[in-house]
Amino acid sequence: MTPRARLLLALGAVAALALPLVLPSNYAVNVAVMILFSAFLGQAWNIAGGFAGQTSFGHVVFFGTGAYASTILHATWGWNPWLAWPVAALAGGAVGLGIGALAFRAGLRGSYFALVTLAFAEVFRILANSAEFTRGGLGILIKADARAANFQFKDPASLYYIALALVAASLAIAWWLRRSRFGAQLAAIRENEDAARALGIDVLRAKTLCMGISGAMAGAGGTFYAQKYLYIDPSIAFGVEKSVEMLLVSMIGGAGTVFGPLVGAIALGFVGEATRALTSAQGLGLVVYGMILVAIVARLPDGLIGLFARRIRRRGGRDA
């Protein structure tokens, strides 16, 4: 990393830490929390879909598994939610390992793998909707008890800093992948799986492990969501909307890059708030929002990070 990049990263970290102190309202802080949370979930998808090229349409299955695991442990069995959180991450990772092992051992790739993950998410939604221990379609309500020891806060700034810590951890994982041997193996698999296998890479092991890491991250995100809203049900936990959100922030920011999901989440957050503020007609904001997303995806196939990189290269060429 160049000195200039280190300086920009340090300034960004200071700005992120100071942001809740300068935002005008709790609503603005909550918007910032959800942008960071979206960036974290996008990074979870990016680990598998961006770095390893294993596009998933059903990543919400890991999110929902984590949400239900921690919520059931807390609301039904009386666990402290802080202690249930790592269990939720392990549950999401275990499901990731299981789905990855089954799908990759069967030789599924590309669109076939994407559809299989979507099918697993729907299966889990149906099971959660009918099982007694999940309370079916009624969902599970978490008792309000706004204490830090109970993972509930009166001040949204506290949730902001937890979300910021999650994003920092996800960036560290992505940075490690960019520089590690395991990350290089995933990049080789993404570019040409058969060639990677010919080079001696254990493709099945690498892809399965990648799905486990990605699933654990998404599972941790499920706990955060459940504790923020104090409620979870099958349509929330396993609905396709969260999968689309994870994919979008990563693709728009730049799949396979360290900061792509964060940039994509910030861009989508600003676009979403702007369309809601500027369009008073009911439903029109969503139409404008969708048109903007289509334009971004169509014009920027390598995301906003790719656009920034091209401009920096052009400027460097002119300066030379």
Check residue 301 and give its pLDDT. 73
Check residue 286 and give its pLDDT. 62
Check residue 281 and give its pLDDT. 56
Q: What is the pTM of this model?
A: 0.93
Q: pLDDT exceeding 90 applies to what percent of the chain?
A: 71
Whether pLDDT at 142 is above 90: yes
Distance CA 34, CA 156 (A): 11
Q: Which of 195, 239, 188, 211 is nearest to 99 (CA)?
A: 211
Confidence of residue 29 (pLDDT cuts 50, 70, 90): very high
Confidence of residue 78 (pLDDT cuts 50, 70, 90): very high
Low-confidence winner among 92-101, 228-237, 249-258, 304-313 (lowest mean pLDDT) = 304-313
Instruction: Report the phi/psi class of residue 283: left, alpha or beta, with left for phi > 0 and alpha for psi in -120 to 50.
Output: left
Structure tokens at 254: 């730049």
DSSP assignment of 275-299 equals HHHH--STTHHHHHHHHHHHHHHHH
Mapping DSSP to helix (H, G, I), strand (E, B) and coil, where does residue 165 land? helix
Distance CA 20, CA 49 (A): 32
Check residue 24 and give its pLDDT. 86
Residues 253-274 have a mean pLDDT of 89
Task: Write the pLDDT tens digit of every residue in 268-305.
Answer: 888 878 777 766 555 666 676 677 777 776 777 778 88
Confidence of residue 320 (pLDDT cuts 50, 70, 90): very low
Domain chopping of the chain, boundaries: 25-240
Which residue carries 């770095």 as its tokens?
A: 51
Distance CA 136, CA 262 (A): 34
Residues 64-84 have a mean pLDDT of 96
Residues 105-111 have a mean pLDDT of 90
Check residue 4 and give its pLDDT. 76
Which range of 107-111, 129-133, 159-163 scores highest in mean pLDDT? It is: 159-163
The chain-wide mean pLDDT, for the chain, equals: 90
Task: Write the pLDDT tens digit of every residue in 174-221.
Answer: 999 999 999 999 999 999 999 999 999 999 999 999 999 999 999 999
Check residue 280 and give its pLDDT. 59
